[in-house]
Structures are given as structure tokens and as C-alpha cells.
């Protein structure tokens, strides 16, 4: 028996040695296979992989491709692709990864963007915005990966540089779902651009700060410049509505989408948790009456509701007297007008100027999220950390190649000799993490825009809805119906093409009521009351 036991023990020991050796061999095969999964270029030696494991460093031995979804029309001249090649050489060296830039183009962008997030496609990084890209509703649908546990390890520079109070504005249900663009100065408050030279001809010697004076300017153009459309507008813009609300009420727009134009606002900064709508305010009726008068006087084209022309190009050609957009656009457009219409002295009527109604931009007006189905979340965040914090990569992606897109002169970016706009122009539509520290001033932005910024700083108010997460699940059908009514009737009212403005506004309001306006208002107010408790206790 003793001898038998010894034999059995010896046999079992031999079997165990063989099994362990086999397991070790298989393990080495699996590790080598994983290392070589990205092809021969990305293979790391077993020694390097072992060193990474031993040191606790992040294993980047497998080469991966990281997608980044942005909003905008894809560049056609190849300059972005050339720049991205340079970026990807750096990405390969630093984290063994490559960026794939993907555009959601402007035609029907809202539908395409939301469908992309709902499709289950394995998106890595994607541009977000809580005030115009429906971020909270997409978060509610589970479109994004929570980042709390990933950021400190895989995007440590970003994690350390963003204050906790800003991370607090980036959470849904207590989890971080976006990286805010919190360290970039911009003003996207809207207003009207007009020619200062023509305003002076019209006897307007002070900056325009109200719609009545703007009408005087338009009438002068109509009477004295027969080849010019006073305001060559298109019905896709909502400047009359946004402008009147901003200029003649104290209301603050809430981050709640209702299609063509926003229906729900807070009463004022002092009553920021009281919900109402400009549409049911007398100011809206006054706007409708004035816009009907302007349409009848021919301040824009008769076919404004169907016109699809490039109105900004017509302004630069001297064929239009006005354009509407935000301050960032104005700073660039002023330089173009100085070149193409010398002496035009393009100026801006910020809608906030009438009664100093202006809030700062939300830090989540731009930002980046990680898709819920990302196959490489860790490496995606490492790539983002480089885009935001590596000066060379940042400036390549935002400005292109020095010597091709720009040269530096007196600390500013200027166009190189021989620069051709069609051949050499560059943009990336990266609005997901710009930072002031790496920005390079440009001679394409008018220095005088700083005067507007300084004026805004004297009366701006802090953005109050950074942590407001709107849940539309209980009123989604009503919100959809309201958006449809607004899309059907809004453009005609805003551009004076709906007939009698009193009757048109009454019908508009009745249809909104029938679509469920009161129910939606009550639900928003309920959620705003809860938000007030969250903020104020």
C-alpha cells in the first residue's frame, strides 16, 4: 500500500508539472496574440507587456482606432486630412492609437445626431451640449458611459484641471457623463449686425440698442439703396423672436428644446425658477405686429419663407444691410467686411443691450462625452486628454499646420504668402474641450470686439441652470406636438407672412394649448421647483 501510494503521488506530481507547463504555454500564446491584434506595427514585446503589468502602467500594446463625432460639414479640400495625419503620428507615439474624425453634417443635423446616439453604434468620443444638443435627454436614454472611475486614471490632466463645482454640472443621476468646455472664453449671445456707415447716413449716430432704431435704419436703406435688401433674412433664423424676448423682457431661456424656437423661459434672473413663455406675453404680439409691418415695407424678400440663399455672402457683397448671429461670428465678420466693403464699419446690436439682460454661457454649451457602446473607453479618454492638454496636438487640431494655414506675426496667426482660401482653409469643428491657454490670437478676428466683451462684463449674470436635468419622459408626446405647431406656424409669424398678426398669434396660442402646453408648463415648473431645492436647499 505504501509503495502504491508513492507511485500514485509521483504520477500526480508529473501530471501537475505537465499541466502547469501547458497552461503557461497557452497563456504566452494568448498574450502574444493580443499584442499582435493590431498588426505588426502595433505589436509590443512580451518583455514590454510584462514591464507594464509589473509597474502598474496602462497597457497600450494593442493599437486601436478612436472615433470622434463632431457637428459640421466635412472639409472638402483635404487639409484637415493632412493635419490629422500629423496628429495621428503623435497619437501613435504617445498612446498607440489613431483618431477617426466623423462629421454629422448640418443638413437635418439634429435628427441625424440623435439617431446616431440611439443606434447602438460603438461611438467613442462625441461632441455634446446641454443647451442645444439634447444632452440630458440622451443621457436619460443611456447614450453615454459614466466617467467617474475612468477619468482619474485615463485622463488625469483633464481630471485635475477641472474644479469639482464644474464636474458637478456634468453629472446625470449623480454620475459624470460629460467633460465640460469650462476653460474657454466665448460669447454666443445673439444680435443684429448692421453697417455703421449706412447708419450714420441715416442720422443714427449712437450704437443701435433697440428694434425701433433698427427699423429706422432699414427704412433708410429701402428709400436710398434700391439694389440692397435691408435685411436679407431666411425663415430658418429666429432673430425676431430671440431678439424681442431678450430686448423687451427679463426672461431667461431654459435648456428645453421645442424645435424651431424655444417656448419655455424663466420669468427673470431674480425669479429664475418661475416658468413661463414669451409666446403668451404681450411682447410676442408686439413682435408679430412689427414684423408684419417690416414685411409689408419690404425689409426682406417677399419669398423669405422659401429663400435658401447665402445671405452672409450678400452682406459681404454690399447687397444686404444686415445679418443676425452671435458675437463670436461678429468678431470675424467685421474683418471680412473691412476687406470686402472698406469703410462699412460693421457694428453689432446685441439684443441684450436694450435692458442689460444677459447671462454667461453655460460651461456645457460645448463638451465631450464617451459613447455607451465604445469598444475602447480607456484609450478614448487618453486620446481626449492629449487633445485637450498637449499643446502641439491641440494647436494642430484647432488651427492646422503652421506654414500652411498660418504664420505667427506679433503673436497672432496670419495667412502665409500665397495662401489660397479654397486650397488651404482648415477647420475641425472641435468644440468639445477648447482651452484659453493654448489659443493663438488671429488677425481674422477684429480687435474691437473686446469692447463688446468689456461691456458684457459690466452686466452679465452667472448661468443658473448648469445642474438642471430636464426629464421629458412624462410629457414627450406633448413636447413633440408643441414642437410641430411651432415649426408649422412660427416662421410665418416671425417674418410677417401669417396674415393679421393678432389673429395669427391667437391661433398659434390656441394650437399650443391644444397640443398640451399647460401640461408641459406644469411639469417643467414641478421640476424647476425641485431644482430650486437642490440649489438653494
If you compute the radius of gyration of the chain from its CA atoms, what whole number of angstroms results? 29
Whether residue 101 is predicted with pLDDT greater than 60 in this model: the reply is yes
Whether residue 32 is predicted with pLDDT greater than 80 in this model: the reply is no
Specify the pLDDT at position 35. Answer: 32
Higher-pLDDT residue of 414 and 14 is 414
| Segment 284-332, tens digit of pLDDT | 999 999 999 999 999 999 999 999 889 999 999 999 999 999 999 999 9
d(CA 100, CA 114): 20
d(CA 24, CA 418): 63
Residue 448 CA: distances (Å) to CA of 206, 352, 443, 497? 16, 18, 12, 37
d(CA 358, CA 460): 5
Taking the mean position of all CA atoms in its chain, how far away is CA 522?
29
Specify the pLDDT at position 415. Answer: 95
Residue 324 near residue 211 (C-beta atoms within 8 A): no
Sheet holding 179-180, edge to edge: 97-104, 64-71, 125-128, 367-370, 179-180
| Cell reading at 378 | 480607456
Residue 400 CA: distances (Å) to CA of 220, 253, 310, 442? 43, 35, 26, 13
d(CA 114, CA 134): 8
With 0-12 CB in 10 A as exposed, 13-18 as middle and 19+ as buried, what is 302?
A: exposed
Alpha helices in 134-258 (DSSP H): 135-140, 151-154, 156-161, 164-168, 196-201, 211-224, 239-248
Specify the pLDDT at position 343. Answer: 98
| Cell reading at 429 | 469643428
SS3 content of the chain, % helix, strand, coil (to 5): 50, 15, 40
d(CA 474, CA 480): 12
The mean pLDDT value for 363-389 works out to: 97
Amino acid at each position: 500500500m505504501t509503495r502504491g501510494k508513492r507511485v500514485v503521488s509521483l504520477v500526480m506530481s508529473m501530471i501537475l508539472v505537465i499541466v502547469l507547463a501547458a497552461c503557461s504555454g497557452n497563456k504566452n500564446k494568448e498574450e502574444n496574440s493580443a499584442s499582435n491584434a493590431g498588426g505588426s506595427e502595433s505589436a509590443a514585446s512580451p518583455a514590454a507587456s510584462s514591464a507594464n503589468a509589473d509597474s502598474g502602467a496602462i497597457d497600450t500594446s494593442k493599437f486601436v482606432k478612436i472615433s470622434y463625432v463632431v457637428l459640421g460639414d466635412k472639409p472638402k479640400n483635404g487639409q484637415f486630412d493632412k493635419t490629422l495625419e500629423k496628429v495621428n503620428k503623435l497619437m501613435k507615439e504617445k498612446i498607440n492609437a489613431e483618431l477617426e474624425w466623423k462629421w454629422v453634417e448640418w443638413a437635418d443635423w439634429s435628427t441625424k445626431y440623435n439617431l446616431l446616439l440611439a443606434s447602438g453604434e460603438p461611438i467613442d468620443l462625441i461632441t455634446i451640449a446641454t443647451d442645444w444638443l439634447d444632452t440630458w435627454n440622451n443621457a436619460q436614454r443611456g447614450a453615454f458611459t459614466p466617467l467617474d472611475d475612468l477619468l482619474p486614471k485615463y485622463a488625469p490632466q483633464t481630471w485635475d484641471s477641472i474644479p469639482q463645482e464644474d464636474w458637478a454640472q456634468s453629472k446625470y443621476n449623480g454620475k459624470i457623463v460629460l467633460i465640460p468646455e469650462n476653460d474657454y472664453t466665448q460669447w454666443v449671445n445673439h444680435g443684429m449686425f448692421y453697417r455703421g456707415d449706412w447708419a450714420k447716413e441715416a442720422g443714427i449716430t449712437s450704437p443701435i440698442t433697440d428694434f425701433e432704431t433698427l427699423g429706422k435704419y432699414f427704412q433708410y436703406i429701402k428709400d436710398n439703396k434700391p439694389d440692397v435688401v435691408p435685411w436679407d433674412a431666411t425663415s430658418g433664423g429666429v432673430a425676431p423672436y430671440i431678439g424681442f424676448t431678450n430686448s423687451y423682457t427679463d426672461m431667461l431661456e431654459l435648456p428645453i428644446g421645442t424645435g424651431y424656437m424655444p417656448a419655455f423661459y424663466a420669468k427673470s434672473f431674480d425669479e429664475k425658477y418661475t416658468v413661463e413663455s414669451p409666446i403668451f406675453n404681450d411682447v410676442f404680439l408686439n413682435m408679430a405686429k412689427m414684423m408684419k409691418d417690416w414685411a409689408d415695407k419690404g425689409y426682406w424678400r417677399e419669398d423669405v419663407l422659401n429663400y435658401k440663399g447665402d445671405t452672409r455672402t450678400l452682406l459681404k457683397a454690399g447687397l444686404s444691410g444686415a445679418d443676425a448671429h452671435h458675437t463670436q461670428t461678429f468678431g470675424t465678420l467685421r474683418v471680412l467686411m473691412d476687406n470686402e466693403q472698406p469703410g462699412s464699419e460693421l457694428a453689432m446690436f446685441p439684443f441684450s443691450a436694450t435692458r442689460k439682460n444677459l447671462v454667461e454661457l453655460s460651461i456645457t454649451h460645448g463638451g465631450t462625452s464617451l459613447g455607451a457602446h465604445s469598444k475602447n473607453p480607456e484609450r478614448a479618454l487618453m486620446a481626449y486628454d492629449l487633445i485637450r492638454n498637449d499643446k502641439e496636438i491641440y494647436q494642430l487640431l484647432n488651427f492646422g499646420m503652421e506654414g500652411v494655414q498660418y504664420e505667427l506675426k506679433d503673436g497672432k496667426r496670419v495667412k502665409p504668402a500665397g495662401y489660397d482660401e479654397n486650397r488651404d482653409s482648415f477647420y475641425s469643428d472641435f468644440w468639445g474641450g477648447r482651452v484659453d491657454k493654448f489659443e493663438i490670437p488671429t488677425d481674422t478676428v477684429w480687435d474691437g470686439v473686446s469692447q463688446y466683451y468689456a461691456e458684457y462684463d459690466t452686466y452679465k449674470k452667472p448661468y443658473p441652470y448648469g445642474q438642471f436635468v430636464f426629464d421629458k419622459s412624462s410629457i414627450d408626446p406633448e413636447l413633440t406636438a408643441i414642437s410641430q405647431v411651432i415649426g408649422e406656424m412660427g416662421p410665418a409669424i416671425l417674418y410677417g407672412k401669417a396674415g393679421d398678426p393678432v389673429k395669427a398669434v391667437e391661433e398659434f396660442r390656441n394650437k399650443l394649448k391644444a397640443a398640451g402646453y399647460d401640461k408641459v408648463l406644469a411639469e417643467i415648473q414641478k421640476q424647476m421647483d425641485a431644482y430650486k431645492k437642490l440649489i438653494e436647499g
